A and B are shown apart, each in its own frame.
Chain A
Amino acid sequence: MKNKYLYLAMALVFSSSTTWAADDDKSSAANTTKQTAAANAAAKDWAVKPLQHVTAPVVKQQKWVRTPIDAFILAELEKQNIKPSRETDRGTYIRRATLDTWGLLPSPTEIEAFEKDKSPDAYEKLVDRLLASNHFGERHARRWLDLARYADSAGFQGDQTRPNNWRYRDYVIASFNEDKPYNQFAREQLAGDELWPDNQTARIATGFLAGYPDNSNSRDLVQRKYQIETDYTDLVGEAFLAQSIGCARCHNHKIDKVSQKEYFQLQAYFANTVVNEKTPLAKGTELDWDKTFTTQQAAYQAATKEIRDKQKAILDTVREKGRQYHNERYLTDSRDSIFKAEKDWNPLDKWVNWRLKAVATDADISGYLKVSAEDKGTPVFDAANIEKWKDYQKLTEDLKKFDKQKPGRGSKTFTTLAETGVQSPQTFVRFGGVHERPLEAVEPGIPALWTIAAGVASPAITPTANSSGRRTALANWIVDPANPLTSRVYVNRVWAQYFSNGISATVGDFGRAGEKPTNPELLDYLATNFVDKGWSTKTLVREILLSNVYRQSSDERADLVKIDPDNKLLAVYPRKRLEAEEIRDSLLYASGELVDQVGGPSVFPKVPNNFNAGQLWEASKGKEDDNRRSIYTFVRRSVPYPLTVSFDPANPSNPHHKRDVTTTPLQALTLFNSDVVFGWSQALAGRVIKEAGDNPEAQINKLYEILFARKPSSAEKSALKDFLKNQDKLIAQRGWDKNYSLAVPTGLTEEDTKKLNPLKAAALVDLVHAVANSNDFAYRF
């Protein structure tokens, strides 16, 4: 039996938590929303207590303290008589810091410069260089997009492309790069349309909320409204406040003191929110992609004008009937709104009709034309439509001939939130969370648990000219400096990005079921300092990177086994598996193949031939598609990009708080067998030859510098040299195709390629590929 257990050891790092009997009814919240009860409960809830301005503690080894962070960590270590770990070497530090801030590897030049820099501010210079790069925004944006459940498609069965969602993605990258204050960042994303209706960037920011998974063919629009608002509520509760508020939708929260009524009061902030996915770009704001798209679209439209005009003319003859037929597909209560005269519309009717219009297309009309022409049994059968349908189909065939001229990726539009007016539809408490069972109506309000302890009351709501003002009120409350949750949650997330675990390990749950912070003073220091310094992410990251805690070695320490088995005190730097995007991007970058361009429409890198995604995965257009950073890879909800999918990337269905680490054979298959990875190994081998010449020892040293920022150990060196000695002989004995094809290093000039001994060159590719598969590559230490 032992063998059975041994077969597949996979390590997991979950977002952990101390209480697992969480759904225990005994801990169930009382059925009350009385503020006094909530206030009592809040006494136990550390996360909602007011922030404390803490000063750094006094420590014995004052010399070790470079930043206040160090004092907070060291004070705890000293209490336990633990020594911090030695400072790591510069190579390890620059690899670690570059991966953490950029998601890429440092170059040999950068490593050498840093290692040789004897000036007292060498680390400061390095860190400032890292923070100033666009790569910083690309790296940090990815994790924010995890929270925003970002995707380039709508999800569900149709999973249609959202052709301008990348503008929101680029907004996030730009925000991190320009170090936009987090309070501003939050307000733009929650209520940019209400607060700055004339500012396109602020409106694009609301793509945060607008990115919900959606099925445009839903026949129950009233239920869809509820689903969308549920998504908004849970998203905001989780992303900004780390509150598992969704639990209170079906019943009073069983752990945290949030009632079901309070849940729906929070949901009421979104009751009047609609989305416009096709807002035209303001003149002068078009980017190069948009201009190209516009030109291509104009050419396509000119070429197809006659056909499309004819099609339109046919549809126009049945448009009214077709629309009627289509609208009848909606269910009873949706139809009540749809077939009501516009003058009688209440706010709910307005919402339903906005949605109806947003999802209506000409395909609805042609669908009717088909049914009415083909199905003799149907009541809408109309013999007059038979010819029309034939003509229409013929035109569709004609139109297909122009498919190749269709404009590429890009758009002339952006997506933004909006509202249908000042008045909001009513929000109801729903029994068991079930849509079909509405109970009492509620007004917007913040759960007492989050307001009482901190003394930040529910905000007043002021409508704007054509909007309810509800989201503005919510946003302002969220970023109120006195609101302890927002800053605590955010600094804890950033900390977790640099130290694997948060100060509270449950980065997505600051409720009672979450873990208490291991160092509450440090958390409050970081949170207050963050707000005081203008909500600056870069300032926060800078302090972390320059701390002695971050500079420690990650070497194992057996002396800590009993004292701090989970490394909560951080006497050792925590080593970590690279995230999905880091693995791909680092290989790509090391190979020298990275197309380093910030922003733009998402791309479709090459996928294996048997991927079977049909039209949902477009064919790669070449290097521009294949070799961009992973953040620009198209996120199709139903078809994840196969090269990175097994490395625990974010799941775009829900806010994704923490990257798990699983180790699976599918990962091994991907890295070892993918033609793409192998191709990068060929390119990296070419780079090694270019930079190190043809001496095997120099090649091995160069490779280790590029991938690991260190020299190989003597054991490694001898294993690698032995391999090179034998591999070319093995290759010589292999079976051959008629062209004697062999994978040799790429990226060299034709002349240099000719100089290579093909067998030895192929052996070097194999060596590079094996090294790129090793643990030393997949981890940062």
Chain B
Amino acid sequence: MSSSRRDFIKNTGLGLGAASLAGVIPGLGTISAATAAELIDPLAPKQPHFPAKIKSVIWLHQNGAPSTLDLYDYKPELVKLAGTVPAPSFLKGIKTSTQGGVGNLFASKRTWKQYGESGAWFSDLLPNLAQQADKLTFIKSSVTVGATHDISILKLNTGDLSPGRPSLGAWISYALGSANPDLPSYVVLYNGDREPAAGSVNWNSGFLPAIYQGTAFRPGPSPILYLERPELRAEVQQRSSLDLLKKLNNIGSAERPTDTELQARLRSYDLADRMQTAAPEAVDLTKETDATKELYGLNDKVSESYGTTLLRARRLVERGVRFIQVVTGAPQGETEVTSWDAHSDLEKNHGVMSKMVDKPIAGLLEDLKSRGLLETTLVVWTSEFARTSYGQSGNGRDHNPWGYTQWLAGGGLKAGFTYGETDAIGLQTADKDKAVDTYDLQATVLNLLGLDHLKTTFLNKGRSERPTVVYGRVVKEILA
């Protein structure tokens, strides 16, 4: 006996009226299948709290924590002080490691220029992205918690330092439903030959039902597991077997005419059938022009795999996928540099990683713009933390959760705008009142989607949970 419909309504608090509670029959389900489907379909499109500025989010997680000091946050003072021990005032209030001789400030061999009308600074590591300067909204006062990648990555995606809470994408799927039933509404992309470390806990649905979890799309033509029929079966066999299955399920359903759960299962096979076509089509780049492929850096070995994921991301946006989480891997064949984690030899590491992402991200922004999609899409450059102003191992940098740069681009934002700043050496956020924590970033993303992070709730074990735990502030200053 299912009490699913009632439970769902009770758990969501998303505004399904009390009137719709009537009509559940014991032994299963509801009187009207249409109404029932509408109510019990957890991925049915739902109205946001207020008009949304954007439809989709591309969440560009720069895995391993890039040194934004060497990309966006130009600090002439750091260059001047390089080689000296930072004054104690800079280190006030932070817990540091001493490994590899923390102490001496470090400047990399960057050259810096201002770009666009906004005059945003970019280092020579991002020549292509620099051309997109006026599309970006910088947050240069980002902060988070944690000195270890995995716990801070968890916090970035789920809001907690331990695994178990739903990821941001899961919350969005839950709150808004799906805009295209033939594809998962929350997709994870990565480049490289294996899933990102720590894996699914960063795109899981936590205490939300499993249906809201992210689906990892694999590189290659068949992005979802079990998309292809068993090896020894021909298409014609699949087809007639599906017909038989439908007949059998219909016969069974006839005995339980009001069992919507059984009907849903019957329909799930139709949907799966459609997904079998829709998912490979969504990632098939053969119809993209050479110009587009070049725009995304597909003609260069270093940027090819990442560019491919971003081009896939754009195609998913076009097909109504709500949240696309893209995790950086490594260029094909690259074995030494596998993430942004440059504790030593930052020059080499960031050289490779920047080259991998620079052209693809610039291309994505350009492409979205030219297709009129940038206004309804949000692109977020984010990382678990960034890197210190003081050096480590002589030519690398340690982890910095106290002050770093992230940026957003797309609908509803002040483009070519910068919010917040770090101190003179780029170590800590200068004005703590302007600090933007991961919760604040999440609240802001939700806001652009038309969701109030305080009202996006789910009842879990008696507790009304929200994406931002007990924190979060919308960074109104960056909104258009």
Chain A interface residues toward B at CB < 8 A:
2, 4-23, 155-159, 213, 215, 217-220, 227, 230-231, 238, 244, 247, 250-251, 254-256, 325-326, 328-333, 335, 371, 374-381, 432, 500-501, 505-506, 508-509, 511-514, 554-558, 560-561, 564-567, 571-572, 574-575, 577, 608, 610-614, 616, 637-640, 642, 646, 648, 651, 653-654, 657, 660-670, 672-675, 678, 713, 715-716, 719-720, 723, 726-727, 730-731, 733-735, 741-743, 762, 766-767, 769-771, 773-776, 778-779
Contact = CB atoms under 8 A, between A and B. Distances in A.
A742 B148 CA distance: 52
A565 B4 CA distance: 11
A727 B1 CA distance: 36
Contact of B2 (A11, A15, A251, A506): A11
Given A380-B100, A509-B462, A662-B211, A556 B4 contact: no
B185 to A, nearest CB: 10
Contact of B148 (A18, A218, A771, A778): A218
Nearest to A8: B181
A556 B256 contact: yes
Contact of B470 (A215, A251, A616, A742): A251
Most buried by A among B148, B197, B255: B148
B199 A665 contact: no
Given A9-B267, A734-B234, A775-B249, A331 B95 contact: yes
Nearest to B207: A654
Contacts of A653: 162-164, 201, 204, 206
B10 A18 contact: yes
Contacts of B325: none
Contacts of B197: 157-159, 638
Contact of A329 (B99, B259, B269): B99
A610 B220 contact: yes
Given A666-B215, A769-B241, A774-B252, A12 B4 contact: yes
Contacts of A251: 470
Given A14-B8, A16-B11, A22 B181 contact: no
Contact of A16 (B3, B28, B34, B261): B3
4 residue pairs, one from A and one from B, having the closest CB atoms? A377-B394, A513-B462, A556-B27, A638-B199
Interface stretch (B223-231, B292-300, B406-414): B223-231
B330 interface: no
A397 to B, nearest CB: 15
Interface stretch (B35-43, B362-370, B444-452): B35-43
Nearest to B223: A610
Contacts of B344: 371, 374-375, 377-378
Interface stretch (B71-79, B119-127, B271-279): B271-279
Contact of B210 (A648, A654, A657, A713): A648
Contact of A155 (B2, B3, B41, B163): B163
Contact of A6 (B38, B146, B232, B393): B38
Nearest to A510: B462
Given A8-B43, A673-B226, A567 B1 contact: yes
Given A255-B462, A331-B96, A512-B462, 20 more contacts: A7-B271, A9-B36, A11-B4, A215-B148, A331-B97, A381-B394, A506-B461, A554-B1, A556-B256, A561-B23, A561-B24, A565-B6, A567-B1, A612-B195, A638-B195, A639-B195, A646-B210, A666-B184, A668-B271, A716-B251
Interface in B260-288: 260-269, 271-272, 274-276
A156 B151 contact: yes
A329 B95 CA distance: 11
B49 interface: no
Given A638-B201, A774-B245, A674 B163 contact: no
A4 B177 CA distance: 11
Contact of B24 (A217, A231, A565, A779): A565
A17 B459 contact: yes
Contact of A21 (B200, B245, B464): B464
A545 to B, nearest CB: 19
Contacts of B162: 213, 227, 230-231, 653
Contact of A776 (B10, B28, B248, B393): B248
Nearest to A244: B461
Contacts of A432: 470
Interface string B88-102: 000000011111110
Contacts of A330: 97
B225 A608 contact: yes
A338 to B, nearest CB: 11
A638 B201 CA distance: 6
A523 to B, nearest CB: 18
Contacts of B267: 8-9
Contacts of A256: 462
Contact of A8 (B44, B100, B149, B463): B44
A665 B279 CA distance: 12
B375 interface: no
B45 to A, nearest CB: 7
29 contacts: A5-B44, A7-B181, A9-B260, A12-B4, A12-B209, A13-B7, A14-B7, A18-B10, A159-B197, A219-B148, A220-B148, A376-B394, A378-B394, A379-B100, A380-B100, A513-B463, A556-B27, A557-B25, A565-B24, A572-B1, A608-B225, A612-B194, A639-B200, A651-B206, A653-B204, A657-B461, A673-B226, A675-B230, A771-B248
Contacts of B220: 610
Contacts of B391: 377
B462 A17 contact: yes
A7 B45 CA distance: 11
Given A10-B264, A666-B215, A673 B230 contact: yes
B132 interface: no
Contacts of A508: 461
Interface string B192-224: 011101111100101101110001001110101
Nearest to B235: A734
A767 B394 contact: no
A299 to B, nearest CB: 31
A560 B195 contact: no
Most buried by B among A12, A220, A231, A723: A12
Contact of B147 (A156, A219, A505): A219
B418 interface: no
Nearest to B231: A675
B393 A560 contact: no
Given A561-B25, A572-B1, A668-B269, A6 B101 contact: no
B17 to A, nearest CB: 14
A20 B161 contact: no
Contacts of A247: 462-463
Interface in B320-342: none
B80 interface: no
A18 B3 CA distance: 13
A610 B216 CA distance: 12
Given A155-B201, A661-B261, A666-B215, A10 B40 contact: yes
B26 interface: yes
A6 B45 CA distance: 11
B462 A565 contact: no
Contacts of A654: 163-164, 206-207
B244 A720 contact: yes
B147 A506 contact: no
A332 B272 contact: no
Contacts of B151: 156, 215, 218
B289 interface: no
Contacts of A616: 199
A770 B215 contact: no
Nearest to A11: B261
Nearest to A379: B101
A565 B7 CA distance: 12
Given A8-B181, A774-B248, A662 B461 contact: no
A764 to B, nearest CB: 12
Nearest to B471: A432
Given A614-B194, A666-B224, A669-B272, A778 B41 contact: no
